[in-house]
Amino acid sequence: MARTEGTVPAATADAGPERTKGPRLTLPQTALGMASMLFIVSVAVAFTGAVLYAYYSYRLGQTEDEVEAFASSFAGAVDEALAEIDQERDAAVGSVQSQLDELEKFAASGETLAGVLEQAAPSVWFVATLDEAGQPSVGSAFVVFSDSEQSFLLTSYTTVRAATQVPAPPITVRKGSEVIEAVELTTWDEANDLALLTVGRPSLPALTWAAEDTPLRVGDRVFVVSGLGASGGSITQGFVADVSASGIQHDAPVGTHFQGGPVLTSQGEVIAVASRTYAPLGFRPEAVFFGVPVRSSCAQVLQCPSAGQPG
């Protein structure tokens, strides 16, 4: 068939399927529609903000709880650390003090010795007399009480033993250049190596006795004082080896002129009378002596009130 110019063939006009159009965003065409759309968007935004705020608050609460828990545990750890430091400090101080106490037991400083001697010297006198053979017999004595007319001194029976017989040799007490003759040998207790002298010198200072409940333990340091010495007396030191009702065993040197002198604590209080012959166990001591408990003198030699020292 002859093709007519200018005419579109039917096959050409119908060639290919019609192109399909995609979905279109339909916008509201009226003011009411626009307002409704904005309202819906606002509600969605508000809801989203509320959800986000709730999530933020939740996470913030968790963080605060974790921080608080950490702070609490940290404070507890600090307290425990401080408590541990305090315990270690106290333990260290106790250990150092214990070591110092042990060192102090081995040797008293010169200052300590001088202090004890200075405190005791005014009350301790050197005793001189004769024994049964007419030979010098010496020792020490210390004031236990005094009044406005005379003073009373406790000493060793061994030193003045000859004066218990008749005729009796004179007994003198001396401190430095001062010499006093004893008025009498008042009483004595041979078993406990104790004797009491009376001198006509009023108001001599008496030594303080240690309290009856003062604990005395093995290893405690003790001092023995003599009335003979360039500074008004002399002193030795030692340690307690044993404590019993019958005697205080110690290793402080007791020379001849120390017998009858006071055995003192570090505070200068009398706990015993020094003796070279007192033997509560039935044998004579050698390097370790037995001090006669000072309150033993209240049995026969002194009259003691129920509490305190004689007076």
What are the residue boundaries of the structural domains of the chain, listed by start? Answer: 113-300
CATH fold group of domain 113-300: Thrombin, subunit H (2.40.10)
Helix, strand, or coil (residue 217) = coil
- Sort 30 into a burial class: Cβ within 10 Å, 0-12 / 13-18 / 19+: exposed
Has residue 1 got a pLDDT over 50?
no
Among 238, 271, 233, which residue's Cα sits nearest to residue 253? 238
The phi and psi torsions of 66 (rounded to 5 degrees) equal: -65, -40
- Of residues 223 and 81, which shows the higher confidence score? 223
Tell me the pLDDT band of 76, cut-offs 50, 70 and 90.
low
Given a contact cutoff of 8 angstroms between Cβ atoms, the answer to whether 173 and 292 are in contact is no
> How many Å apart are CA 202 and CA 120, to the nearest integer?
18
Has residue 303 got a pLDDT over 80?
yes
Write the pLDDT tens digit of every residue in 170-217: 999 999 889 999 999 999 999 999 999 999 999 999 999 999 887 889
Write the pLDDT tens digit of every residue in 214-242: 788 999 999 999 999 988 899 999 999 99
Write the pLDDT tens digit of every residue in 119-171: 999 999 999 999 999 999 999 999 999 999 999 999 999 999 999 999 999 99
Helix, strand, or coil (residue 137) = strand
**What is the pLDDT of the chain when averaged over all its residues?**
84
Among 248, 242, 250, 152, which residue's Cα sits nearest to residue 192? 248
Q: What amino acid is encoded at 3 in this protein?
A: R
The phi and psi torsions of 29 (rounded to 5 degrees) equal: -100, -5
Write the pLDDT tens digit of every residue in 245-286: 899 999 999 999 999 999 999 999 999 999 999 999 888 877
Among 131, 151, 130, 150, which residue's Cα sits nearest to residue 141? 151
The phi and psi torsions of 97 (rounded to 5 degrees) equal: -65, -40
